[in-house]
Structure 1
């Protein structure tokens, strides 16, 4: 898929180097980079109760924030959180963040 998205030739190799693995309920996130740290990626897997991967999402050169969406009393308030029902639980830790601007994406779980 990366070759299709980036236009890389079949002769070019891309080695995925995982930097972190996190799990939130049925969602597993793996973030990594290439050896030169010039590109980054996030894979999000949805895993069923019996351990079968049922969905895979891949984000290439994109900053990902995972937000847990919950229900609750709308009258409750938290002073430093804009919406207490959408709490960020994970954010990409991108290599060399200052070198390039990347699109951002919020993944709700």
Structure 2
């Protein structure tokens, strides 16, 4: 799997222990998927996993794998970057000019409880929590597809 290919975003400070654990859990998930280890994958997912998808309907590869609808992995998800932010982990990957994806995983007590998949969609993650009397929306994460200059992607903002 792409364990050695995964880039980490530069961090200005040390990542809290829970964020480190969440990131390790998601890396373990992608490694298990690459090895076809369905028992490990199932053990990382909550039984009531909430799922949301944005992109062309024929590109719902990950959900087909997670639900067992597709016994064969039609698309190999090899994250190029994995970033932990609070209780979420964002994984990003691209395969040439036709496939760019972002996965946003939410974890609670070591289990994946929510999965948001964005396929061929530019994503910006912003902090929407008010700080004191002022309300700020700093960008926490932004898509970085390598071939963006060649095409246009629809954009979404995810507030956390």
TM-score after normalising by structure 2: 0.53
2:133 maps to which residue?
73
SS in structure 1 of the partner of residue 152 of structure 2: coil
The whole-number CA distance in structure 1 between the counterparts of 2:141 and 2:111 is 23
1:80 maps to which residue?
none
1:61 maps to which residue?
120
SS in structure 2 of the partner of residue 6 of structure 1: helix
Q: Runs (4+) of structure 1 moved beyond 4 Å? A: none
The whole-number CA distance in structure 2 between the counterparts of 1:107 and 1:70 is 12
* 1:7-18 mapped onto 2 (5 Å cutoff): 13-18=74-79
2:154 aligned with 1:103, yes or no? yes
2:101 aligned with 1:41, yes or no? yes
1:25 to 82, 86, 89: 86
The whole-number CA distance in structure 1 between the counterparts of 2:151 and 2:75 is 20
The whole-number CA distance in structure 1 between the counterparts of 2:79 and 2:129 is 29
Q: CA deviation at 1:37?
A: 4.4
Please say which structure displays the higher CA radius of gyration.
1
SS in structure 2 of the partner of residue 42 of structure 1: strand
Distance 1:23 1:12, change over 3 A: closer
Alpha carbon RMSD of aligned pairs, Å? 2.6
Q: Which has the higher helix share?
A: 2
Q: CA deviation at 1:12?
A: 9.5
Q: Which has the higher strand share?
A: 1
The whole-number CA distance in structure 2 between the counterparts of 1:22 and 1:93 is 12
